[in-house]
Chain A
């Protein structure tokens, strides 16, 4: 189990073995990063002899304190594959520990000096940042352009688009039935997703948590680095665009919504997808569709708390997020219907 008070010493042990090339590594300036709700994150400086470097630690938190249950080994394998593929820019992932040294499975990344897109767009008006729309469309297109064959075998490949959509729609119903209380909206969503399927498209790599806090803008190069790959999977690429809409309702502003047509035009240009496939109605559809994974984890965490199996302020706080997500689903379902009627 992760014990934060021991991490400095444990990191020194790990880095002495894998990084310091026979020297003894020391760790300084260890600061926890507060932005994430799922993993324990910290940045720190390491020194060995006259060599020093800054890193970021991404580890599983102590049990019961996360809203997500994901696999660090799989995330490590995926980022290694992405680094080899080179299509998407990510912070270099340097070391993996299965928990034998750090107490919990963890990845050590090189730190990228810069700021997240979320921090960048907090300054001034959102319209001051429209120049970020094209690189945003480009990085989403680059994720969806990764050759699926290069991904780790442990990442499931659905047999077909229809089978994938139907299975996910059915999962809304089964997750609801396993939940600690009834949620009629989830059951209605399951029926609505089947009744309102959009045109199909090729299944691709999906980041799964595509939002501004997960895009790190390199201060020196301006490059967009995509971070936090724990929810990545093979699915419909429009899931990432839909998820953005949900994520930025609780984390305004929504940069894409500030000039949606400009973003979509660039995205279609980069991916070759048609307007029939990528449009406001399909985005709204996938805002609902794409959120099941995170929604399942959120309600799963609150259910664990209700059953006395989990604790922690983050889990309790997530009870306030559920109505917000419900509201986004209802709005998205109405928007999809309205756009289709207007463009019939």
Chain B
């Protein structure tokens, strides 16, 4: 298969052509805004195509570790236990993006239930760990999209 130029390089080429060649030829204000939006989405795709599987697998492991560590500190972890079981018993056996995404979805449910249990019990240590996981997820999201500035506003 062809791996060079890489997906990010091809996407960068499209993004740059839009800005350097297409944009100067466009007079319509609405179309100009559309092009700016396309460039922003392409920037996101450049990052995601390079890192997405790695980001998801790392976060799945971090969530599973946190759940195993915190479950014994929670007085009612039935819902959390069920989500952890769903995650661990259905792990993907391939690196296909769709398979990893399904694992990530199950891990996200674990994190959601961990957060709900932590706040319901006012468990400060668990809340702190949940916040750390959410901060890590946010850092990944920001790495994928960069700073969001609304285009075309007036």
Q: Interface on A for B, CB 8 Å cutoff?
A: 32-35, 37, 116, 118-119, 176, 181-185, 187-188, 190-192, 194-195, 213, 250-252, 313-314, 316-317, 319-324, 326-327, 330
Is the beta-carbon distance between B148 and A324 smaller than 8 angstroms? yes
Which of A35, A313, A324, A326 is close to B34, meaning CB atoms less than 8 Å apart? A313
Q: Which residues of B contact A192 (CB under 8 A)?
A: 119
The size bracket of the interface on B is 35 or more
- In the assembled complex, B116 has its CB within 8 A of some CB on chain A: yes
Question: Which residues of the other chain, B, contact A37 by a CB distance below 8 angstroms?
Answer: 150
* Shortest distance from the beta carbon of B62 to any chain A beta carbon, whole Å: 12
Contact A319 B108, beta carbon cutoff 8 Å = no
Asked if B13 is at the interface (CB within 8 A of a chain A CB), the reply is no
Contact B111 A184 (CB under 8 A): yes
Contact of B142 among A119, A188, A327 (CB under 8 A): A327
Chain B 18-37 residues near chain A, CB threshold 8 A: 29-30, 33-34, 37
B130 with A188: CB separation less than 8 A: yes
- Which 8 pairs of residues, A with B, have the shortest CB-CB distance? A323-B141, A191-B119, A182-B108, A324-B148, A317-B37, A188-B115, A187-B112, A184-B111
Q: Does A250 lie within 8 Å of B149, measured CB to CB? A: yes
18 more A-B residue pairs beyond the given contacts A34-B33, A34-B154, A192-B119, with a C-beta to C-beta distance below 8 A: A32-B29, A32-B30, A33-B154, A35-B152, A35-B154, A118-B154, A181-B105, A184-B112, A184-B137, A188-B134, A313-B37, A313-B41, A317-B41, A320-B44, A321-B150, A323-B141, A323-B145, A324-B148
**Inter-subunit contact A319/B105 (CB<8 Å):** no
- Please name all residues of chain A whose beta carbon is closer than 8 Å to the beta carbon of B14 when the two chains form the complex: none
B134 touches A330 (CB 8 A): yes
Q: Do B116 and A187 touch (CB < 8 A)?
A: yes
Q: Once the chains bind, are A182 and B105 in contact (CB under 8 Å)? A: yes
Residues of A within 8 A of B37 (CB): 313-314, 316-317
Q: Is the CB of A320 within 8 A of B154?
A: no
**B137 CB contacts on chain A under 8 angstroms:** 184-185
How many whole Å from B58's CB to the nearest CB in chain A? 16
**Which residues B114-154 have CB closer than 8 A to chain A?**
115-116, 118-120, 122, 130-131, 133-135, 137-138, 141-142, 144-154
Shortest CB–CB separation between residue B28 and chain A, in angstroms?
A: 9
Write out the residue numbers on chain B whose beta carbons fall within 8 Å of the beta carbon of A323. Answer: 138, 141-142, 144-145, 148
Any chain A CB within 8 A of the CB of B109? yes
- Jot down 30 A-B pairs with beta carbons below 8 A, ordered by A: A34-B152, A34-B154, A35-B152, A35-B154, A116-B154, A118-B153, A181-B105, A182-B105, A187-B115, A188-B116, A190-B116, A191-B115, A250-B148, A250-B149, A251-B153, A313-B38, A313-B41, A314-B37, A317-B37, A317-B40, A320-B40, A321-B148, A321-B150, A323-B142, A323-B148, A324-B145, A324-B147, A327-B138, A330-B135, A330-B138
